[in-house]
Structure 1
Amino acid sequence: MFSRIALFLATNLAVLALVSVVMAIFGIDPATNAGLLMFAAVFGFGGAFVSLALSKWTAKRSTGAHVITQPANESERWLVETVRRQAEQAGIGMPEVAIYDAPEINAFATGASRNNALVAVSTGLLRSMTRDEAEAVLGHEVAHVANGDMVTMALLQGVLNTFVIFLARVVGRAVDGYLSGGRDNGGGGLAYFAIVFVLDMIFGLFASMIAMWFSRRREFRADVGGAQLAGRQKMLAALERLGQTYGHNTLPKQIAAFGISGALGHGLKRLLMSHPPLEERIQSLRSADLGESDGARQRAF
């Protein structure tokens, strides 16, 4: 736990240092709205893309995933060869393949691009799933990579971060000015920073809802991709098997959105779910048009 916190702090400190240098070099003044928007964009996109660039390294460190460089047994050989075959079908570079120790049935994909990715499965998945079900799960994760979901989510998060930072400060300045009777506080006093802190949390909550809505749409598409690579029945069987452990997820937060399984939620919590309920995913997959040929399968990605 301490190492994860230290890693998180070190990453954010590095981003802050880099952003400060960039702003100093280009003379960006956050006191004006134009400067503030540039300030927000640098912070918003900077953090998102640094996280994307470090995603594989972070995933390996946070889960303890062991990358298979030389298969040690038949199970590892099957994993590597299955991912290799699916990657070729999807038209992407061969991802790294890894195993991480966790009791639940889960897997995740991450990486900075379609040709520089990592696909990892839990030991719980290997113990609990049949080969057909595991093949479908691997197909789901390869589909995430082929669809460019990691880059798309980073771009979306960058845009959302930018507007959260910008709007919180613009609104905070207006509220602070109103409360102070229009007096110039020289860039904002304690009240201004308190207002901005609260607005960051409020706007950040709405931004998270938007990001998670998109994440849920993306899961339906990855399920279709898994069915195209492994077969509809195998993908349906995998989703049904996930129901046995659905709601238990030990993946770190920054990786959990790219796992095949997510946590249950109700009410407001449901709006912050990265994955749709399994029942909805199964129903959607049953009615999905998967195409009729390998050519259709290739075009889907």
Structure 2
Amino acid sequence: MLRIGLFLLTNIAIMIIISLVFSLLGLESTLAQNGVDLNLEALLIMSTVIGMSGSFISLAMSKWSAKRMMGAVVITDAKDNTQRWLLQTVERQAQQAGIKMPEVAIFDSADVNAFATGMNKNAALVAVSTGLLANMKQGEIEAVLAHEVSHVANGDMVTLALVQGIVNTFVIFFSRIVGHLVDRVVFKTQRGYGPAYYITSIVAQIVFGILASSIVMYFSRRREFRADAGGAHLAGSGNMVAALQRLQSIHQPAHMPDQLAAFGINASVASGIRKLFMSHPPLEERIAALQAAR
């Protein structure tokens, strides 16, 4: 779903900003000792602060940023039968799932898409696209909503934030080691850090961050099966299977921003090494898992 892409983009941006702030304040200079030694204990502490901060700040901002990036308009007063039905359906599903009523929003997109986000499962946001409302039957829409409500009830965004925070920590840790080695060994800096350290560290952080996102994507794929099962419980297995089959039958160009396209509910199936960076399992695997559980 879109929530993964929005979360990761915000997380990367915040990590880079925090790293730059640390550099500008001179806090990273405490890691540099005389000679070629590196204060690994201080580095690990700093990496944890940056990594976990980036993850949880992006989680705290997730609902706000999702509304603005996707142009999601929250339904505060139903203006038609469709909006009234959406509110009633989400309210009923939330009660069944044991969570408070999320905000319900619609965003203008031809893509068949939906997402749920929020730092607290009792103060979440569930949003659907106009394309989804136009191209799915009511039972299928109900299943998609149930899938998203299940994500909220399962605390998937918090789980993702924890995993991302741990991954961030090691990305920062190893990128600083690379920067340290390049600065000391290649550019022969004797004291403190030179420009090579900061440039190399940021480049390594971006590269390692992209590679490490495969770990986050693995956990995301596993959580999708659980959300599908939750959707089947709340809206019926037949509706959940039908919704996924409907997504299989839809062939349309993506209208999301390029950086978010891979995280849409109807994203194209990747092949080769790109499979490692898929946020969702192939639709046929998800359908097969639901049918096997009947």
Q: TM > 0.5 between the two?
A: yes
Query: Greater shift after overlay, 106-115 or 266-275?
Result: 266-275
State the superposition RMSD in angstroms.
3.2
**What corresponds to 1:85 in structure 2?**
92
Aligned partner (choices 48, 59, 64) of residue 52 of structure 1:
59
Structure 2: which amino acid aligns with 1:101? D
Cα deviation, 1:237-296, whole Å, max 9, x if unaligned, reads: 00011113368554568977875443321112221111111111111111136xxxxxxx
In 2: Cα distance, 1:8 partner to 1:45 partner: 13
1:143 aligns with 2:157: no
In 1: Cα distance, 2:19 partner to 2:183 partner: 28
1:105 aligns with 2:112: yes
In 1: Cα distance, 2:16 partner to 2:178 partner: 28
Query: Greater shift after overlay, 98-107 or 279-288?
Result: 279-288
Aligned partner (choices 6, 16, 19) of residue 18 of structure 2:
16
In 2: Cα distance, 1:166 partner to 1:211 partner: 17
Q: 1:259 to 1:95 in 2, by over 3 A?
A: farther
Cα deviation, 1:58-95, whole Å, max 9, x if unaligned, reads: 11111111111111111111100000000001001100
TM-aligned CA deviation for residue 171 of structure 1: 3.8
Structure 1: which amino acid aligns with 2:248? G
TM-aligned CA deviation for residue 30 of structure 1: 3.8
Is contact 1:261–1:275 with CA below 8 Å preserved after alignment? Answer: no
TM-aligned CA deviation for residue 33 of structure 1: 1.8
TM-aligned CA deviation for residue 215 of structure 1: 0.8
**What corresponds to 1:164 in structure 2?**
171
Structure 2: which amino acid aligns with 1:69? T
In 2: Cα distance, 1:231 partner to 1:248 partner: 30
In 1: Cα distance, 2:62 partner to 2:248 partner: 28
Name the % identity.
53
In 2: Cα distance, 1:153 partner to 1:139 partner: 19
Give runs of aligned pairs for residues 1-301 of structure 1, distance below 5 A. 12=14, 16=18, 20=22, 29-31=30-32, 32-174=39-181, 176-179=183-186, 183-245=188-250, 249-251=254-256, 260-288=265-293
Q: 1:230 to 1:211 in 2, by over 3 A?
A: same
In 2: Cα distance, 1:174 partner to 1:251 partner: 40
| Runs (4+) off by over 4 Å | 17-21, 246-259
In 2: Cα distance, 1:248 partner to 1:277 partner: 18
Is contact 2:52–2:166 with CA below 8 Å preserved after alignment? Answer: yes
Cα deviation, 1:167-219, whole Å, max 9, x if unaligned, reads: 12124424554446xx5532333443444344324422331110111111111
In 2: Cα distance, 1:18 partner to 1:112 partner: 25
Long gaps (5+) in structure 1: 290-301
Structure 1: which amino acid aligns with 2:86? L
Structure 2: which amino acid aligns with 1:244? S
Is contact 1:109–1:117 with CA below 8 Å preserved after alignment? Answer: yes
In 1: Cα distance, 2:258 partner to 2:64 partner: 15
TM-score by length of 1: 0.82
In 2: Cα distance, 1:259 partner to 1:118 partner: 16
Higher relative contact order (CA 8 A, sep 6+): 2
In 2: Cα distance, 1:218 partner to 1:252 partner: 24
In 1: Cα distance, 2:199 partner to 2:176 partner: 11
Is contact 1:263–1:275 with CA below 8 Å preserved after alignment? Answer: no
Q: 1:49 to 1:202 in 2, by over 3 A?
A: same
TM-aligned CA deviation for residue 12 of structure 1: 3.8
Structure 2: which amino acid aligns with 1:81? Q
TM-score by length of 2: 0.83
Long gaps (5+) in structure 2: 1-5, 33-38
